[in-house]
Chain A
């Protein structure tokens, strides 16, 4: 959705009588951005030019094009189909209310209207509209995640099923060749389900924030990464102050520190060093993890935290991943009330000094 200049909802008022428009403006201008039209055609034009219109107050009786026709045309166009329309209906037209609903109106207010009633109906329909948008956005995101997850899971299962098929057809084929691939597929498949579960848990807001000992959480994350560090002969240089931060300890250890550590190991060269520090800084607990690996190209950096676009990249030893690690990591830091910054320099463009640094700021417990 396009960014708006203002966070105030934008309403269009349509009435052929200027005096009526004036009354409506007086009533609504304190809370809403307003656009006005005195003719049906003019109203349609404004709708076309105002992509973020939130609600329309529409007079029924107007010369040339009446409110019903305006409503019909707005409902026929994709861009304006879901904008709430409230008809302003004179008493004599009350019988036509049903006709208005049939055309897709959201509600009606009888003229002469009572201001509190009009304001209440406007508020109700704006709220409904906001909720609809939120649900639609969430739904799109979930669909995209589902598509990515099923794609990735199918890929991991493919490796296993292809290997079994290969063995079935060629019994003398050396299983030892297939075993590491099947193991990697299984590991990544499990990692994927864990991250999706983490993501859901984060979104369900059931997170219990409490004081967590930062050094202990980092130690545990390092312990969990030990075999990968050893395998790649990566050394971690630490300078960690004894701080207490606001977080949830399991998520901080696994989803935050575990993910940035995995990332740093994955993109480090064999035998490299990773620098880890945790210091108080301007009232925050500031954790920095710096690798001296291959760095990220701008295209990867741009999509790093977007769960729908993020894509797993091969590590320096061909390590595969899920593509979900970084979005999940940032989601949790945000839920802890903290921030994440990334600075990166590609080896290809900075052969002398390259690598990636994650800076995570967390709330200090005073």
Chain B
């Protein structure tokens, strides 16, 4: 599965990339503004996006994605170090499919999260699939 990672902290971005690549995924990564929207145009099938970033933050990124044809219905998962409920609610209300709180494990990333709801808000086309290991079976999202 082609996965886009948007994360401004190099160390997290690289480790996340390793985790996903070792599970057989094709990863494209972006750290900033223009770059990430350009990456989004490469038709990823799944997006992991940090919330707190300079310039365009995660909510801004999500709003842009929702306007782009081809990727507006791609599963969009926030990565956040803010465990505050209000912050998470804000993320979900803006149309994200789920959030993962940092730090996360390989299992969190590739096997889905029990907290995940189904579908995406804005232009949902169906249930969201987590990027399970390409060798394994894909698991539909259920809350």
Contacts and interface: CB of A to CB of B under 8 A. Distances in A.
Nearest to A184: B11
B81 A158 contact: yes
Interface of A: 147, 150-152, 154-155, 157-163, 165-166, 169-170, 173, 177-178, 181-182, 184-185, 311, 313-314, 318, 320
28 contacts: A151-B81, A152-B81, A154-B103, A155-B9, A155-B12, A158-B81, A158-B102, A159-B11, A161-B103, A161-B105, A162-B15, A162-B19, A162-B104, A162-B106, A165-B19, A165-B105, A166-B18, A166-B22, A166-B106, A169-B22, A173-B22, A181-B10, A184-B11, A311-B54, A314-B8, A314-B10, A320-B10, A320-B11
A308 B109 CA distance: 31
Contacts, number: 70
Contact of A170 (B9, B16, B22, B81): B22
B64 interface: no
Q: Which 6 A-B pairs have the closest CB atoms?
A: A158-B103, A154-B81, A181-B11, A161-B103, A158-B102, A159-B11
A185 B103 contact: no
A163 B102 CA distance: 13
Contacts of A154: 81, 83, 102-103
B83 to A, nearest CB: 8
B106 A169 contact: yes
Contacts of B54: 311, 313
Interface in B80-123: 81-83, 102-106
Say whether chain A's binding surface is mostly helix, strand, loop, or mixed. helix
Contacts of B81: 150-152, 154-155, 158
Given A158-B81, A311-B54, A318 B10 contact: yes
B14 interface: yes
B26 interface: no
A187 to B, nearest CB: 10
A147 B103 CA distance: 16
A165 B12 contact: no
Interface string B47-89: 0000010100000000000000000000000000111000000
A180 to B, nearest CB: 8
Looking at chain B's contact residues, the main secondary structure is: loop
Contact of B15 (A152, A166, A314): A166
Contacts of B18: 166, 173, 177-178
B15 A320 contact: no
Contacts of B10: 181, 184, 314, 318, 320
A166 B11 contact: no
B9 A165 contact: no
A320 B31 CA distance: 13
Given A181-B11, A314-B8, 20 more contacts: A151-B81, A151-B82, A157-B103, A158-B81, A158-B102, A159-B9, A159-B11, A159-B12, A159-B15, A161-B103, A162-B105, A162-B106, A165-B19, A166-B106, A169-B106, A184-B10, A185-B11, A311-B54, A318-B10, A320-B9
A318 B10 CA distance: 8
B106 A155 contact: no
Contacts of B22: 166, 169-170, 173
Contacts of B15: 159, 162-163, 166, 178, 181
Interface centre among B22, B103, B105 (most CB of A within 10 A): B103
A177 B12 CA distance: 13
User: Which of A147, A151, A160 has the most chain B CB within a 10 Å cutoff?
Assistant: A151
A300 to B, nearest CB: 8
Contacts of A173: 18, 22
A151 to B, nearest CB: 5
